[in-house]
Amino acid sequence: MGGVVHVLAVNPVPARSQMGSSLGFHIILACFGIAFVAVTMTAEWIGIRRGDAAALLLARRWSKVMAVLVAVGAVSGTVLSYEMGLLWPGLMGRFGAAIGFPFSMEGIFFFLEAIFVGVYLYGWGRLPPWAHWWSGVPIVVSGVLGALSVVAANSWMNSPAGYTLSHGKLTSVDPWSVFFNASTPYETAHMVLAAYMVTGFLVAGVYAVGLLRGRRDRYHRLGFAIPFTIGGICAPLQVMMGDIIARFIANNQPVKFAAMEYVTTTTRDAPEWVGGIFINGKVYFGAAIPAFDSILVGFSPHTRVIGWDSVPPSQRPPLVTLIHLSFDVMVGIGFFLLALAAWQGWWWWFHRRLLLTAWFLVPSAVSGVAAVAAMEAGWVVTEVGRQPWIVYRVLLVSQAVTPSSGVPVTLGVILVLYAIFTVVSIGVPMVMSRRWRRETPAEEEAEQVPYGPSPARFSLAGPTAPPGVPPESSGGPEAP
Partner 1 sequence: MSPSPEDIAVAVILFVVIAAYALFGGADFGGGIWDLLAGSAGRGAAPRELIDESITPVWEGNHVWLVFVLVLLWTAFPPAFAAIFTALFVPLSLSLLGIVLRGVGFAFRHTAQRLHMQQLTGATFAAASLITPFFMGTVVGAVATGQVPVHPAGNVLAAWTSPTAILTGFLFVAACAYISAVFLVLEARQRGHQDLTRYFSRRATAAGVLTGALAGGTFAELPASAPYVYARLTGIALPLVAISIAAGIAVLGMLWLRWYHSLFLRGMAAIAVATVVFGWGLAQYPYLVPTSLPLAAGSAPTAALVAEFVVAGLAVLLVVPAFAFLYFLQQRRVLTAAETDAGLRLAAHLEQAPPSHAAAAPPPTGARMTRALVLVVLAIRVIRDAFSRSHRR
Of residues 368 through 427, those in contact with partner 1 by CB under 8 A are 402-406, 410, 413, 417, 421, 424
Using the minimum distance from each CB to partner 1, give the nearer residue, 13 or 97. Answer: 97
Q: Is 241 in the site for partner 1 (CB under 8 A)?
A: yes
Residue 276 Cβ vs partner 1, minimum distance, rounded to whole Å: 30
Q: Which stretch binds partner 1 (CB under 8 A): 52-60, 258-266, 303-311, 367-375?
A: 52-60
Residue 265 Cβ vs partner 1, minimum distance, rounded to whole Å: 26
Using the minimum distance from each CB to partner 1, give the nearer residue, 164 or 314. Answer: 164
Span 75-94, contacts to partner 1 by CB under 8 A? 75-79, 81-82, 84-86, 89-90, 92-94
Tell me if 14 sits within 8 A of 408, measured CB to CB. yes
Q: What residue type is assigned to position 154 of the chain?
A: N
Span 444-463, contacts to partner 1 by CB under 8 A? 445-446, 448-449, 455-456, 458-460
Q: Number of helices and strands (H, E) in the chain? A: 16, 8
Q: Is 332 in the site for partner 1 (CB under 8 A)?
A: no
Q: How many alpha carbons fall within 13 Å on the CB side of residue 279?
A: 5
Site mask, partner 1, residues 144-173, x = CB under 8 A?
--------------------------xxxx
Residue 198 Cβ vs partner 1, minimum distance, rounded to whole Å: 20
Nearest residue to 33 via CA among 141, 105, 130: 141
Question: How many whole angstroms separate alpha carbon 195 and alpha carbon 26?
Answer: 12
Using the minimum distance from each CB to partner 1, give the nearer residue, 44 or 383. Answer: 44
Residue 278 Cβ vs partner 1, minimum distance, rounded to whole Å: 30
How many residues make contact with partner 1 (CB under 8 A)? 114
Distances (CA, A) of 334 to 29, 172, 194, 215, 270: 20, 41, 10, 29, 23
Question: How many whole angstroms separate alpha carbon 307 and alpha carbon 55?
Answer: 53
Q: Is 96 in the site for partner 1 (CB under 8 A)?
A: yes
Strands (E), 280-388: 282-284, 287-289
Question: How many whole angstroms separate alpha carbon 214 and alpha carbon 197?
Answer: 25
Angle at 391 between CA 385 and CA 394, to 5 degrees: 115
Span 207-226, contacts to partner 1 by CB under 8 A? 217-219
Q: Is 194 in the site for partner 1 (CB under 8 A)?
A: no
Span 58-77, contacts to partner 1 by CB under 8 A? 60-61, 64, 67-68, 70-72, 74-77
Nearest residue to 227 via CA among 247, 208, 246: 208
